[in-house]
Structure 1
């Protein structure tokens, strides 16, 4: 990936000690983050606060305290339309296109006069949208809807583009196209981009730095190349595989889990348990389903 242009002047996005609540739930706990130029990716498992961070930057969620500055201006108390006018574009998770509007109508109502991004430039960037310009939003595939959502944000000519899970649910060929587009936008230097991603492959491919979010906090900011090379850290971040600090499951535990499964789930030829059982003094009815409390998950996973 090509080197990004060196930063100069004040940061496009600077977040300091951001505190956000949902009732009594503390969603963002002192988040601080700086994006000067290019692409910064934020990764983490579900429920870590990534979408809340996007919504707070764009004004859809109000912070209890802390600071959000875009090109030096405080925006934490502004309404979403005011933040949008200051040059913050948003590609929300789930695309959110209008089913009754055609592709061309989506783009025309989002375009601005004298903007760097025009409808014609969008069609050149995404030829598939040009082919589908007369189709309604509900007639597009998931990849086409994502192209449309990204294009709609680009037409606002943003200085900061916030993208929440831009590759979620997309076919690999479309994911690669989105990756190339993000790298190209960063190299052109027209805008800074904050990408929220669970796909670490995408996150490390499009950015030089990656911020890791854990339990509502920025755990660390590191070089994308270092994260891409650290498989163990990736597993801990996304909960894939056995954590390095988790002890290995012994053969005895696996055998015990197999015995529990055989006892709790007596299977007949139709595939259902034929009678209730009493296990460890607890009555287990026929309708009970397997869960993480009655059978050890790690042992059950290995036994399976």
Structure 2
């Protein structure tokens, strides 16, 4: 393969943010929450593999269409001006084609489950991924659209596991995740607030103003309360609730980290939400695995 082709592949990988997997993690954790709730434990390996790979693909597709949408803004923001489209290394039309191709690959992967309901739900998932980047021009809270997009894997998970959607559970999970997404993406937006004000991009950080950290704290608390309520109704045990407590600890740490609102600290708080979401999943997975682990420990002793 010649050097120019290798450079192009590298730029495509950078366009899909494969070098920065934080977005994959933040999309993956709530999807895993839903899979474990839907399956009452670990789902089949086939379903798990499809959703993990699908998460990687759809996050990659979302980044491609995001950079197409922001091609006129990114060159004016210090943190984004070297992105492939903004820097002119990838044409806007290439970004759109990459979005379409990667989305189709994800659709093909999902079709291996032979689940009509899950396939039908994948269509609005792709539309939401394409819509979100443009909402920064139209509404003051584009993070709410991102929250819906990042929550859409939840009903898909129930459809894949149960062949039906238990809306009483799914809506609680989606509401909790929506609160969390708006919270952590507000930290992200706080890091870019000055640049966004200059170029006219809307964000939750601008909308919330001096109340930004208080709103984030309330949203994280509400997310944890919703998950705790679902855990009580679902009969979850101590490990699950300990996971929520650990997540709350990370939320407090982020509050302290951002007290000066320095952009680097706000971005670090955004990254720290990987631990918030991972703690919740670890507690949920351990809670489901605990009876078997306890039996093994008892047998060994």
Structure with the larger helix share:
2
* Structure that is richer in strand per residue: 1
Same fold (TM over 0.5): no
| Structure with larger Rg | 1
**TM-score w.r.t. structure 2 length?**
0.26
TM-score of the superposed pair, with normalisation by structure 1:
0.25
